[in-house]
Amino acid sequence: MAPKAQKKPQGKQMAKSSAPHKPKNSAINASRLMKYSRARIFQRKAAYKVKKVKTPAKKSAEKAAAAAAFVVKKIGGDKNGGERKVYKKTPKSLPTQVASRKVQLRPKKTFKKHVRRIRSNLAPGAVLILLAGRHKGKRVVLLKQLESGLLLVTGPRKLNGCPLRRVSQRYVIGTKTRIDISKVALPERLNDAYFRRQRSAKKSAASAGGSADIFAKSDAAYAVSAERREDQAAVDKALMGAIKASGDGPMLRSYLRSLFSIKSGQRPHAMVF
Amino acid sequence: MGKLDKFIEVGRVAFIANGKDSGKVCAIAEIIDQNRVLIDGPCSGVRRQVCDMKRLHLTRFCIDLPHSARTAVVRRKWTAAKLDEKWKETSWAKKLEARRLRTNMSDFDRFKLARAKQIRNSIIALAAGKIRKEAKAKPNALRFRKPNKKRHIKKE
């Protein structure tokens, strides 16, 4: 099948016009079958008149040689070809043919580029019920959604022992109860990197070197860092203020302290949360 | 089997039990045949339509309607009879409203209800405990005990 006609051939330099761009080619149907073929568009745009500009070489020869994976060495002997490429570090494969690259029309999206969605009933200030993890059954306050898509929640810690924590949407029931947290200022440093689990440095060095004692317990007990305490105190103070300011202050406090459970006769699918 | 005092008749106020418009009251404007009636509920949001008698639960209210009365007439008679208020005052409507409130309770509402019950029960328990204590303090007075059905046999 003929490739799609391109609207702008590469290396072309167009004179900037003030008129809005009117594409010369258009799609006939939904699957982008173009009206004019590549050859026809070449003619219609008079691309044969356009001079191609050579892009200058970005790297100098010496830099290229230093960056190369091999060194060219001279060898003796009449019939040996005079030179050999000596690889600095043997590559995994020394191909005899240039591998043809498959054109990715729809390349795989990395995790960073994934679309992060949030359930419509989850908004900052909503009270959530945690369904899994060590804080299961606790009612916590949603602060915001982080870049990875996980939700940042806090107990507040004073009420139910749940700290500033990341939680997945999937393990959470969003209730209708809302607290106005517009006045609660979250510290800037609360992001995914802040909450990332710390792997102990010693262990990783040992596995790389292979010389350390493999039975040595290098994991220290988890100790809460000073910045965590600081952030927790700041956020909780503001949040407790917001709870107090809301209509149901005392009731909300005892609500957040209580645990959720399904009682006899309750049917979760028929319940409004 | 209750009293046969509610009849399908023109002007009878009926409650729609299922299907679209379920939960609303309407008036019967015309009787079509053995199974179907023409209903209209302009004040309760029920469009003038044919309805199966099996869907209707009859109320004790009846308004004075000429048969095949048009919607404007139904509306006039309905508001004159103040049926909206009368319906809301019935225990039937009150029970429906209570059921609706109960199903629409949020998690926080359920918590508040449970807490209110707990507080009320503890007040009752405290008061009952006081009465019991005072009764125990009086040795000869009548003490609360399980009623003895065999009255001729005295239990000591």
Average pLDDT over residues A135-153: 96
- Looking at this predicted complex, what is its ipTM? 0.72
The model's pLDDT over A29-38, given as tens digits with 9 standing for 90+, comes to 877 788 888 8
Sign for the CA dihedral angle at B113, B115, B117, B120 comes to negative
What percent of chain A lies above the pLDDT cut of 70?
81
Q: Specify the amino acid at residue B1.
A: M
Q: Are residues B57 and B124 in the same domain?
A: no
Determine, yes or no, domain membership for A53.
no
Interface of A with B (CB under 8 A): 127, 129, 139, 173, 175-177, 248, 251-252, 254-255, 258, 260, 270-273
- Cα–Cα distances in angstroms (integers) from residue A218 to residues A198, A215, A224, in the given order: 13, 9, 18
Asked if pLDDT for residue B146 goes beyond 80, the answer is: no
Q: What is the pLDDT of residue A2?
A: 46
Q: Alpha helices of chain A — where are they, by DSSP H?
A: 38-44, 61-67, 157-160, 192-195, 201-209, 226-245, 249-257
Total number of domains constituting chain B: 2
Tell me which of B110 and A247 has the higher pLDDT: B110
d(CA B35, CA B53): 6
Tell me which of A2 and B12 has the higher pLDDT: B12
Cis peptide bond upstream of A95, omega within 30: no
Q: What is the pLDDT of residue B148?
A: 62
Determine, yes or no, domain membership for A159.
yes
Laid out side by side, the sheet with B25-31 consists of B46-52, B36-41, B25-31, B12-16, B56-62
Structure tokens at A123: 């908004």
Q: What is the pLDDT of residue A102?
A: 79
Asked if pLDDT for residue A11 goes beyond 50, the answer is: no
Structure tokens at A188: 């800037």
Question: A174 - beta bridge partners?
Answer: A128
Q: Specify the amino acid at residue A271.
A: M
Q: Are residues B94 and B111 in the same domain?
A: no
Q: Are residues B97 and B23 in the same domain?
A: yes
Looking at chain B from residue 92 to 111, which residues have their Cβ under 8 Å from any Cβ of chain A?
103-108, 111
Q: Are residues B97 and B123 in the same domain?
A: no
Q: Are residues B51 and B116 in the same domain?
A: no
Q: What is the pLDDT of residue A198?
A: 80
d(CA B7, CA A145): 60
Determine, yes or no, domain membership for B129.
yes
Determine, yes or no, domain membership for A146.
yes
User: Which among A255, A270, A271 is the nearest to B108, CB-wise?
Assistant: A255
Determine, yes or no, domain membership for B122.
yes
Q: Are residues B58 and B115 in the same domain?
A: no
What percent of chain B lies above the pLDDT cut of 70?
87
Laid out side by side, the sheet with A139-145 consists of A165-167, A151-154, A139-145, A126-130, A172-178
Determine, yes or no, domain membership for B64.
yes
Asked if pLDDT for residue A114 goes beyond 60, the answer is: yes
Structure tokens at B76: 């006039």
Q: Which residues of A touch B103 (CB under 8 A)?
A: 270, 272
Determine, yes or no, domain membership for A50.
no
Asked whether the beta carbons of residue A273 and residue B107 sit closer than 8 angstroms, the reply is yes
Q: What is the pLDDT of residue A5?
A: 47
d(CA A106, CA A90): 33
For helices A249-257 and A226-245, the axis angle rounded to 10 degrees is: 140
Determine, yes or no, domain membership for B73.
yes
Q: Are residues B118 and B41 in the same domain?
A: no
Average pLDDT over residues B60-82: 96
Total number of domains constituting chain A: 1
> How many residues comprise chain A?
273
Q: What is the pLDDT of residue A210?
A: 55
d(CA B132, CA B148): 19
Q: Are residues B55 and B125 in the same domain?
A: no
Residue A256, classified by CB atoms within 10 Å of its CB into exposed (0-12), middle (13-18) or buried (19+), is buried
**Alpha carbon of B23: minimum distance to chain A alpha carbons (Å):** 19
Determine, yes or no, domain membership for B46.
yes
Determine, yes or no, domain membership for B145.
no
Determine, yes or no, domain membership for A160.
yes
Asked whether the beta carbons of residue A175 and residue B107 sit closer than 8 angstroms, the reply is yes
Determine, yes or no, domain membership for A9.
no
Return the CATH number at A257. Answer: 2.30.30.30
Determine, yes or no, domain membership for B143.
no
Q: Are residues B27 and B67 in the same domain?
A: yes
d(CA B73, CA B11): 11
**Alpha carbon of B18: minimum distance to chain A alpha carbons (Å):** 19
Asked if pLDDT for residue A194 goes beyond 50, the answer is: yes
The model's pLDDT over B57-69, given as tens digits with 9 standing for 90+, comes to 999 999 999 989 9
Determine, yes or no, domain membership for A36.
no
Q: Are residues B82 and B133 in the same domain?
A: no
d(CA A245, CA A249): 7
Determine, yes or no, domain membership for A184.
yes
Q: Are residues B58 and B130 in the same domain?
A: no
Its domain, for residue B126, covers 107-138
Inter-chain CB pairs, A–B, below 8 Å = 36
Q: Are residues B27 and B97 in the same domain?
A: yes
Return the CATH number at B29. Answer: 2.30.30.30
Q: What is the pLDDT of residue B145?
A: 64
Question: Residue B42 in contact with residue B51, Cβ under 8 Å?
Answer: no
d(CA A206, CA A211): 7
* Cα atoms in the 13 Å half-sphere on the side-chain side of A3: 6
Q: What is the pLDDT of residue A126?
A: 96
Determine, yes or no, domain membership for B155.
no
